[in-house]
Structure 1
Amino acid sequence: MIRVLLADDEPMMRAGARAILSADQEIEVVAEAADGRQAVEMVHRHQPDVALLDVQMPLLDGLDATSEILRTSSRTAVIIFTTFSNDDYISRALSNGASGFLLKSGDPRELIAGVHAVADGAAYLSPEAAHRVIRGLSLENMSRKSAAREQAARLSSRERVVLGLLGAGLSNAQIARRLDLVEGTVKTHVSSILRRLAVGNRVQAAIIAHEADLITAAD
Protein backbone atom coordinates (compact mmCIF):
# COMPACT_ATOMS: atom_id res chain seq x y z
CA MET A 1 0.00 0.00 0.00
CA ILE A 2 1.32 3.46 -0.95
CA ARG A 3 0.68 5.92 1.88
CA VAL A 4 0.13 9.52 0.77
CA LEU A 5 -0.04 12.91 2.47
CA LEU A 6 -2.07 15.64 0.71
CA ALA A 7 -1.14 19.28 1.40
CA ASP A 8 -3.18 22.11 -0.13
CA ASP A 9 -4.79 25.14 1.45
CA GLU A 10 -7.94 24.70 -0.66
CA PRO A 11 -10.27 21.99 0.77
CA MET A 12 -11.89 21.40 -2.63
CA MET A 13 -8.51 20.67 -4.21
CA ARG A 14 -7.67 18.21 -1.44
CA ALA A 15 -11.06 16.54 -1.84
CA GLY A 16 -10.57 16.21 -5.59
CA ALA A 17 -7.09 14.76 -5.28
CA ARG A 18 -8.24 12.38 -2.53
CA ALA A 19 -11.10 11.15 -4.74
CA ILE A 20 -8.75 10.47 -7.63
CA LEU A 21 -6.20 8.65 -5.49
CA SER A 22 -8.86 6.66 -3.64
CA ALA A 23 -9.91 5.11 -6.94
CA ASP A 24 -6.63 3.15 -6.85
CA GLN A 25 -6.77 0.28 -4.36
CA GLU A 26 -3.01 0.44 -3.86
CA ILE A 27 -3.05 4.06 -2.61
CA GLU A 28 -4.16 5.25 0.82
CA VAL A 29 -4.40 8.92 1.82
CA VAL A 30 -3.21 8.82 5.43
CA ALA A 31 -3.18 12.55 6.25
CA GLU A 32 -4.05 16.00 4.95
CA ALA A 33 -2.58 19.43 5.64
CA ALA A 34 -3.78 22.96 4.93
CA ASP A 35 -0.39 24.69 5.03
CA GLY A 36 3.28 23.91 4.54
CA ARG A 37 4.23 23.89 8.21
CA GLN A 38 1.44 21.44 8.99
CA ALA A 39 2.57 19.29 6.05
CA VAL A 40 6.06 18.98 7.54
CA GLU A 41 4.57 18.04 10.92
CA MET A 42 2.25 15.46 9.34
CA VAL A 43 5.15 13.86 7.48
CA HIS A 44 7.02 13.43 10.75
CA ARG A 45 3.92 11.99 12.43
CA HIS A 46 2.70 9.62 9.69
CA GLN A 47 5.86 8.89 7.67
CA PRO A 48 4.03 8.61 4.32
CA ASP A 49 5.67 7.18 1.22
CA VAL A 50 4.71 10.24 -0.84
CA ALA A 51 3.90 13.84 0.09
CA LEU A 52 1.79 15.65 -2.50
CA LEU A 53 2.35 19.38 -1.97
CA ASP A 54 0.80 22.48 -3.52
CA VAL A 55 3.24 25.34 -4.20
CA GLN A 56 1.32 28.29 -2.79
CA MET A 57 0.41 27.55 0.83
CA PRO A 58 0.45 29.74 3.95
CA LEU A 59 3.14 29.69 6.66
CA LEU A 60 5.52 27.67 4.49
CA ASP A 61 5.17 27.26 0.73
CA GLY A 62 5.41 23.86 -0.95
CA LEU A 63 8.92 24.44 -2.26
CA ASP A 64 10.37 25.30 1.15
CA ALA A 65 8.32 22.52 2.72
CA THR A 66 9.94 20.13 0.24
CA SER A 67 13.40 21.08 1.48
CA GLU A 68 12.34 20.71 5.10
CA ILE A 69 10.69 17.33 4.55
CA LEU A 70 13.63 15.86 2.67
CA ARG A 71 16.11 17.27 5.19
CA THR A 72 14.40 15.49 8.07
CA SER A 73 12.78 12.40 6.51
CA SER A 74 14.51 9.74 4.41
CA ARG A 75 11.30 7.76 3.86
CA THR A 76 9.08 10.31 2.14
CA ALA A 77 9.36 11.37 -1.51
CA VAL A 78 7.78 14.65 -2.62
CA ILE A 79 5.60 15.51 -5.61
CA ILE A 80 4.77 19.15 -6.30
CA PHE A 81 1.13 19.29 -7.45
CA THR A 82 0.23 22.77 -8.62
CA THR A 83 -1.73 25.00 -10.97
CA PHE A 84 1.43 26.88 -11.92
CA SER A 85 3.98 25.58 -14.42
CA ASN A 86 6.48 28.42 -14.72
CA ASP A 87 10.14 27.56 -15.13
CA ASP A 88 11.17 28.98 -11.76
CA TYR A 89 8.77 26.74 -9.84
CA ILE A 90 9.92 23.65 -11.73
CA SER A 91 13.59 24.49 -11.31
CA ARG A 92 13.24 25.24 -7.58
CA ALA A 93 11.15 22.12 -6.99
CA LEU A 94 13.76 19.86 -8.58
CA SER A 95 16.66 21.70 -6.97
CA ASN A 96 14.99 21.33 -3.57
CA GLY A 97 14.77 17.58 -4.11
CA ALA A 98 11.22 16.94 -5.36
CA SER A 99 10.88 13.66 -7.25
CA GLY A 100 7.83 14.75 -9.24
CA PHE A 101 6.07 17.80 -10.66
CA LEU A 102 2.43 17.52 -11.72
CA LEU A 103 -0.15 20.03 -12.89
CA LYS A 104 -3.65 20.08 -11.42
CA SER A 105 -4.98 20.69 -14.92
CA GLY A 106 -3.47 17.42 -16.19
CA ASP A 107 -5.09 14.05 -16.79
CA PRO A 108 -6.14 12.48 -13.45
CA ARG A 109 -4.35 9.32 -14.53
CA GLU A 110 -1.07 11.26 -14.38
CA LEU A 111 -1.62 11.81 -10.65
CA ILE A 112 -2.00 8.09 -9.98
CA ALA A 113 0.90 7.20 -12.29
CA GLY A 114 3.09 9.84 -10.65
CA VAL A 115 2.40 8.60 -7.13
CA HIS A 116 3.20 5.02 -8.14
CA ALA A 117 6.40 6.03 -9.95
CA VAL A 118 7.75 8.18 -7.13
CA ALA A 119 6.84 5.60 -4.47
CA ASP A 120 8.79 3.05 -6.52
CA GLY A 121 11.89 5.24 -6.46
CA ALA A 122 11.55 6.78 -9.91
CA ALA A 123 10.95 10.39 -10.96
CA TYR A 124 7.82 11.68 -12.67
CA LEU A 125 7.17 14.97 -14.49
CA SER A 126 4.02 16.05 -16.25
CA PRO A 127 4.54 16.35 -20.04
CA GLU A 128 4.53 20.16 -19.85
CA ALA A 129 7.02 20.22 -17.00
CA ALA A 130 9.26 17.74 -18.81
CA HIS A 131 9.13 19.93 -21.93
CA ARG A 132 10.13 22.99 -19.92
CA VAL A 133 13.01 21.12 -18.28
CA ILE A 134 14.29 19.92 -21.65
CA ARG A 135 13.93 23.38 -23.17
CA GLY A 136 15.82 24.90 -20.27
CA LEU A 137 18.59 22.37 -20.61
CA SER A 138 18.96 23.09 -24.33
CA LEU A 139 19.73 26.77 -23.63
CA GLU A 140 23.09 25.84 -22.16
CA ASN A 141 23.41 22.48 -23.82
CA MET A 142 27.05 22.38 -24.84
CA SER A 143 28.66 23.52 -21.61
CA ARG A 144 26.34 21.36 -19.52
CA LYS A 145 27.06 18.32 -21.69
CA SER A 146 30.77 18.78 -21.16
CA ALA A 147 30.36 19.13 -17.39
CA ALA A 148 27.99 16.13 -17.25
CA ARG A 149 30.43 13.94 -19.16
CA GLU A 150 33.20 14.89 -16.73
CA GLN A 151 30.91 13.94 -13.83
CA ALA A 152 29.90 10.63 -15.45
CA ALA A 153 33.57 9.80 -16.01
CA ARG A 154 33.90 9.49 -12.21
CA LEU A 155 31.65 6.41 -12.31
CA SER A 156 32.50 2.81 -13.01
CA SER A 157 31.24 1.26 -16.24
CA ARG A 158 28.49 -0.57 -14.33
CA GLU A 159 27.43 2.62 -12.57
CA ARG A 160 27.19 4.44 -15.91
CA VAL A 161 24.83 1.75 -17.19
CA VAL A 162 22.71 2.04 -14.03
CA LEU A 163 22.72 5.83 -14.37
CA GLY A 164 21.52 5.53 -17.96
CA LEU A 165 18.63 3.28 -16.95
CA LEU A 166 17.81 5.57 -14.02
CA GLY A 167 17.75 8.49 -16.44
CA ALA A 168 15.41 6.55 -18.71
CA GLY A 169 12.91 6.51 -15.83
CA LEU A 170 13.36 2.94 -14.59
CA SER A 171 12.84 2.14 -10.91
CA ASN A 172 15.34 0.15 -8.87
CA ALA A 173 13.28 -3.01 -9.36
CA GLN A 174 13.14 -2.51 -13.13
CA ILE A 175 16.88 -1.85 -13.33
CA ALA A 176 17.52 -5.00 -11.31
CA ARG A 177 15.45 -7.08 -13.73
CA ARG A 178 17.10 -5.48 -16.77
CA LEU A 179 20.62 -6.18 -15.49
CA ASP A 180 19.83 -9.48 -13.76
CA LEU A 181 20.82 -8.11 -10.35
CA VAL A 182 19.19 -8.19 -6.94
CA GLU A 183 17.43 -4.95 -6.04
CA GLY A 184 19.70 -4.38 -3.05
CA THR A 185 22.72 -4.27 -5.37
CA VAL A 186 21.00 -1.68 -7.54
CA LYS A 187 20.24 0.45 -4.47
CA THR A 188 23.93 0.27 -3.54
CA HIS A 189 24.91 1.38 -7.07
CA VAL A 190 22.40 4.25 -6.97
CA SER A 191 23.69 5.44 -3.60
CA SER A 192 27.25 5.35 -4.93
CA ILE A 193 26.18 7.23 -8.08
CA LEU A 194 24.50 10.01 -6.10
CA ARG A 195 27.56 10.33 -3.87
CA ARG A 196 30.08 10.39 -6.73
CA LEU A 197 28.04 12.85 -8.78
CA ALA A 198 27.53 15.02 -5.67
CA VAL A 199 23.77 15.25 -6.26
CA GLY A 200 20.94 14.94 -3.77
CA ASN A 201 18.35 12.84 -5.60
CA ARG A 202 17.47 10.71 -8.63
CA VAL A 203 16.01 13.60 -10.61
CA GLN A 204 19.31 15.49 -10.54
CA ALA A 205 21.18 12.30 -11.47
CA ALA A 206 18.75 11.68 -14.35
CA ILE A 207 19.44 15.17 -15.71
CA ILE A 208 23.16 14.37 -15.75
CA ALA A 209 22.41 11.08 -17.52
CA HIS A 210 20.58 12.99 -20.26
CA GLU A 211 23.26 15.65 -20.57
CA ALA A 212 26.02 13.02 -20.73
CA ASP A 213 24.14 11.14 -23.49
CA LEU A 214 23.94 7.97 -21.43
CA ILE A 215 20.27 7.26 -22.18
CA THR A 216 20.86 5.92 -25.71
CA ALA A 217 23.60 3.65 -24.42
CA ALA A 218 21.25 2.38 -21.72
CA ASP A 219 18.54 1.63 -24.28
Structure 2
Amino acid sequence: MNVAKMIDHSLLRPELTTADVRHGCEVAARRAVASVCVRPSDVGLARAALDGTGVLVGTVAGFPHGDTLTTVKAAETRALVEAGADEIDMVLHIGRLRSGDDAYVHDDIAAVVAAAQGRVVKVILENVYLTDEQKVAGCRIAERAGAGFVKTSTGFAGGGATLADIQLMRATVSPHVEVKAAGGVRSLDTLLTLHRAGATRFGATVTEAILDDFAARERGEPPADAPSTGSGY
Protein backbone atom coordinates (compact mmCIF):
# COMPACT_ATOMS: atom_id res chain seq x y z
CA MET A 1 0.00 0.00 0.00
CA ASN A 2 1.41 3.38 -1.01
CA VAL A 3 -0.10 5.70 1.59
CA ALA A 4 1.93 8.69 0.39
CA LYS A 5 0.23 8.58 -3.01
CA MET A 6 -3.15 8.88 -1.30
CA ILE A 7 -2.29 12.23 0.30
CA ASP A 8 -2.88 15.76 -0.97
CA HIS A 9 -0.58 17.77 1.30
CA SER A 10 -2.63 20.83 2.26
CA LEU A 11 -1.11 24.31 2.20
CA LEU A 12 -4.31 26.36 2.34
CA ARG A 13 -4.25 28.18 5.67
CA PRO A 14 -4.49 31.94 5.10
CA GLU A 15 -1.55 32.84 7.34
CA LEU A 16 1.04 30.73 5.49
CA THR A 17 4.02 32.71 4.22
CA THR A 18 5.77 32.02 0.92
CA ALA A 19 8.53 30.37 2.96
CA ASP A 20 5.90 28.10 4.56
CA VAL A 21 4.59 27.14 1.12
CA ARG A 22 8.08 26.41 -0.19
CA HIS A 23 8.78 24.26 2.86
CA GLY A 24 5.49 22.43 2.35
CA CYS A 25 6.43 21.72 -1.24
CA GLU A 26 9.80 20.39 -0.06
CA VAL A 27 7.99 18.07 2.34
CA ALA A 28 5.65 16.93 -0.43
CA ALA A 29 8.53 16.19 -2.77
CA ARG A 30 10.60 14.41 -0.14
CA ARG A 31 7.69 12.25 0.94
CA ALA A 32 6.51 11.67 -2.66
CA VAL A 33 2.85 12.40 -1.94
CA ALA A 34 0.16 12.57 -4.62
CA SER A 35 -0.07 16.35 -4.65
CA VAL A 36 0.09 19.59 -2.78
CA CYS A 37 -3.09 21.64 -2.55
CA VAL A 38 -2.13 25.30 -2.46
CA ARG A 39 -3.92 28.62 -2.46
CA PRO A 40 -4.58 30.00 -5.96
CA SER A 41 -1.90 32.67 -5.64
CA ASP A 42 0.69 30.00 -4.82
CA VAL A 43 0.22 27.82 -7.90
CA GLY A 44 3.14 29.32 -9.79
CA LEU A 45 5.40 29.00 -6.76
CA ALA A 46 4.40 25.36 -6.27
CA ARG A 47 4.79 24.59 -9.97
CA ALA A 48 8.36 25.88 -9.93
CA ALA A 49 9.17 24.02 -6.70
CA LEU A 50 7.72 20.69 -7.82
CA ASP A 51 8.61 20.41 -11.49
CA GLY A 52 10.22 17.03 -12.11
CA THR A 53 9.29 15.59 -8.70
CA GLY A 54 6.19 13.66 -9.75
CA VAL A 55 4.09 15.56 -7.19
CA LEU A 56 1.03 17.19 -8.71
CA VAL A 57 0.04 20.79 -8.09
CA GLY A 58 -3.53 21.09 -6.89
CA THR A 59 -5.42 24.22 -5.97
CA VAL A 60 -8.91 25.47 -5.14
CA ALA A 61 -11.66 27.43 -6.88
CA GLY A 62 -14.59 29.17 -5.22
CA PHE A 63 -12.92 28.40 -1.90
CA PRO A 64 -14.01 28.09 0.84
CA HIS A 65 -17.69 29.07 0.53
CA GLY A 66 -18.58 28.15 -3.04
CA ASP A 67 -20.84 31.15 -3.57
CA THR A 68 -18.90 33.19 -6.13
CA LEU A 69 -20.40 33.64 -9.58
CA THR A 70 -20.06 30.69 -11.93
CA THR A 71 -18.29 32.96 -14.41
CA VAL A 72 -15.77 33.87 -11.71
CA LYS A 73 -15.17 30.22 -10.79
CA ALA A 74 -14.63 29.35 -14.44
CA ALA A 75 -12.30 32.30 -15.03
CA GLU A 76 -10.37 31.44 -11.89
CA THR A 77 -10.01 27.86 -13.07
CA ARG A 78 -8.74 28.91 -16.49
CA ALA A 79 -6.17 31.17 -14.86
CA LEU A 80 -5.07 28.39 -12.50
CA VAL A 81 -4.63 25.95 -15.37
CA GLU A 82 -2.54 28.55 -17.19
CA ALA A 83 -0.44 29.00 -14.04
CA GLY A 84 0.30 25.27 -13.95
CA ALA A 85 -2.37 23.58 -11.82
CA ASP A 86 -2.86 19.86 -12.39
CA GLU A 87 -5.99 19.44 -10.25
CA ILE A 88 -8.81 21.73 -9.14
CA ASP A 89 -10.76 21.31 -5.89
CA MET A 90 -13.89 23.42 -6.27
CA VAL A 91 -16.61 24.16 -3.74
CA LEU A 92 -20.11 23.70 -5.12
CA HIS A 93 -22.72 26.33 -4.31
CA ILE A 94 -23.81 25.00 -0.93
CA GLY A 95 -26.82 27.28 -0.55
CA ARG A 96 -28.18 26.41 -3.99
CA LEU A 97 -27.79 22.70 -3.27
CA ARG A 98 -29.66 23.13 0.02
CA SER A 99 -32.33 25.05 -1.89
CA GLY A 100 -32.87 22.17 -4.31
CA ASP A 101 -31.63 24.17 -7.30
CA ASP A 102 -29.98 21.20 -8.97
CA ALA A 103 -29.70 22.87 -12.38
CA TYR A 104 -27.68 25.77 -10.95
CA VAL A 105 -25.36 23.42 -9.05
CA HIS A 106 -24.86 21.25 -12.13
CA ASP A 107 -24.08 24.15 -14.44
CA ASP A 108 -21.72 25.71 -11.88
CA ILE A 109 -19.70 22.48 -11.66
CA ALA A 110 -19.84 21.84 -15.41
CA ALA A 111 -18.42 25.29 -16.11
CA VAL A 112 -15.41 24.55 -13.90
CA VAL A 113 -14.95 21.11 -15.46
CA ALA A 114 -14.91 22.70 -18.92
CA ALA A 115 -12.49 25.42 -17.80
CA ALA A 116 -10.17 22.79 -16.30
CA GLN A 117 -9.46 21.51 -19.81
CA GLY A 118 -9.17 17.86 -18.86
CA ARG A 119 -7.59 18.36 -15.43
CA VAL A 120 -9.12 16.45 -12.56
CA VAL A 121 -11.87 18.37 -10.78
CA LYS A 122 -12.78 17.43 -7.20
CA VAL A 123 -16.12 18.78 -6.04
CA ILE A 124 -16.33 19.74 -2.37
CA LEU A 125 -19.80 19.28 -0.88
CA GLU A 126 -19.12 20.64 2.65
CA ASN A 127 -21.12 17.83 4.23
CA VAL A 128 -21.43 19.42 7.65
CA TYR A 129 -24.14 21.69 6.21
CA LEU A 130 -26.05 18.96 4.36
CA THR A 131 -28.58 16.25 5.06
CA ASP A 132 -27.89 12.78 3.75
CA GLU A 133 -30.38 13.40 0.95
CA GLN A 134 -28.53 16.57 -0.03
CA LYS A 135 -25.19 14.76 0.06
CA VAL A 136 -26.56 12.13 -2.31
CA ALA A 137 -27.97 14.82 -4.59
CA GLY A 138 -24.68 16.71 -4.60
CA CYS A 139 -22.69 13.60 -5.46
CA ARG A 140 -25.01 12.68 -8.30
CA ILE A 141 -24.96 16.20 -9.71
CA ALA A 142 -21.17 16.32 -9.53
CA GLU A 143 -20.90 13.05 -11.42
CA ARG A 144 -23.31 14.20 -14.12
CA ALA A 145 -21.32 17.42 -14.48
CA GLY A 146 -18.09 15.52 -15.13
CA ALA A 147 -16.26 15.63 -11.79
CA GLY A 148 -13.47 13.15 -11.17
CA PHE A 149 -13.90 13.19 -7.39
CA VAL A 150 -16.48 14.08 -4.79
CA LYS A 151 -14.98 15.45 -1.59
CA THR A 152 -16.34 15.74 1.93
CA SER A 153 -15.18 19.10 3.20
CA THR A 154 -13.01 22.18 2.94
CA GLY A 155 -11.65 21.66 6.45
CA PHE A 156 -12.68 25.22 7.33
CA ALA A 157 -16.33 24.75 8.25
CA GLY A 158 -16.26 23.12 11.68
CA GLY A 159 -16.76 19.59 10.40
CA GLY A 160 -14.84 17.08 8.39
CA ALA A 161 -14.78 13.61 6.94
CA THR A 162 -16.77 10.93 8.72
CA LEU A 163 -16.95 7.20 8.14
CA ALA A 164 -20.70 7.41 7.46
CA ASP A 165 -20.20 10.14 4.85
CA ILE A 166 -17.46 8.24 3.02
CA GLN A 167 -19.63 5.14 2.92
CA LEU A 168 -22.60 7.14 1.64
CA MET A 169 -20.61 8.97 -1.02
CA ARG A 170 -18.88 5.81 -2.24
CA ALA A 171 -22.24 4.05 -2.53
CA THR A 172 -23.73 6.99 -4.45
CA VAL A 173 -21.24 7.62 -7.24
CA SER A 174 -20.15 5.29 -10.02
CA PRO A 175 -16.85 3.38 -9.72
CA HIS A 176 -15.03 5.80 -12.05
CA VAL A 177 -15.72 8.72 -9.67
CA GLU A 178 -13.38 8.73 -6.67
CA VAL A 179 -13.98 9.96 -3.12
CA LYS A 180 -11.68 12.36 -1.27
CA ALA A 181 -11.77 12.74 2.52
CA ALA A 182 -10.74 16.06 4.00
CA GLY A 183 -11.19 17.57 7.43
CA GLY A 184 -10.05 15.67 10.52
CA VAL A 185 -7.63 13.30 8.78
CA ARG A 186 -5.01 13.69 11.50
CA SER A 187 -3.84 10.11 12.00
CA LEU A 188 -2.91 7.01 10.06
CA ASP A 189 -5.72 5.07 11.72
CA THR A 190 -8.29 7.60 10.49
CA LEU A 191 -6.86 7.48 6.98
CA LEU A 192 -6.89 3.69 6.87
CA THR A 193 -10.43 3.46 8.23
CA LEU A 194 -11.72 5.89 5.62
CA HIS A 195 -9.71 4.16 2.90
CA ARG A 196 -11.39 0.86 3.71
CA ALA A 197 -14.73 2.65 3.41
CA GLY A 198 -13.89 3.83 -0.12
CA ALA A 199 -11.84 7.04 0.04
CA THR A 200 -8.82 7.06 -2.26
CA ARG A 201 -7.40 10.53 -1.63
CA PHE A 202 -6.98 12.45 1.63
CA GLY A 203 -6.39 16.11 2.38
CA ALA A 204 -3.95 16.40 5.28
CA THR A 205 -1.69 18.89 7.00
CA VAL A 206 0.00 16.37 9.31
CA THR A 207 1.36 14.40 6.37
CA GLU A 208 4.76 13.64 7.84
CA ALA A 209 3.31 12.32 11.10
CA ILE A 210 0.97 10.01 9.18
CA LEU A 211 3.75 8.70 6.95
CA ASP A 212 6.18 8.31 9.84
CA ASP A 213 3.59 6.25 11.69
CA PHE A 214 3.02 4.08 8.62
CA ALA A 215 6.76 3.48 8.21
CA ALA A 216 7.09 2.61 11.91
CA ARG A 217 4.30 0.06 11.68
CA GLU A 218 5.91 -1.45 8.59
CA ARG A 219 8.98 -1.95 10.79
CA GLY A 220 6.82 -3.61 13.43
CA GLU A 221 6.80 -0.72 15.89
CA PRO A 222 3.65 0.15 17.90
CA PRO A 223 1.18 2.76 16.54
CA ALA A 224 1.97 6.38 17.31
CA ASP A 225 -0.49 8.63 19.09
CA ALA A 226 -2.53 10.88 16.81
CA PRO A 227 -1.15 14.43 16.50
CA SER A 228 -2.91 16.81 18.86
CA THR A 229 -2.58 19.95 16.75
CA GLY A 230 -3.03 21.08 13.18
CA SER A 231 -5.77 22.09 10.81
CA GLY A 232 -8.43 19.53 10.10
CA TYR A 233 -8.25 19.97 6.34
TM-score range, shorter chain: 0.3 to 0.5
* Greater per-residue helix proportion: 1
TM-score normalised according to structure 2 size? 0.35
TM-score normalised according to structure 1 size? 0.37
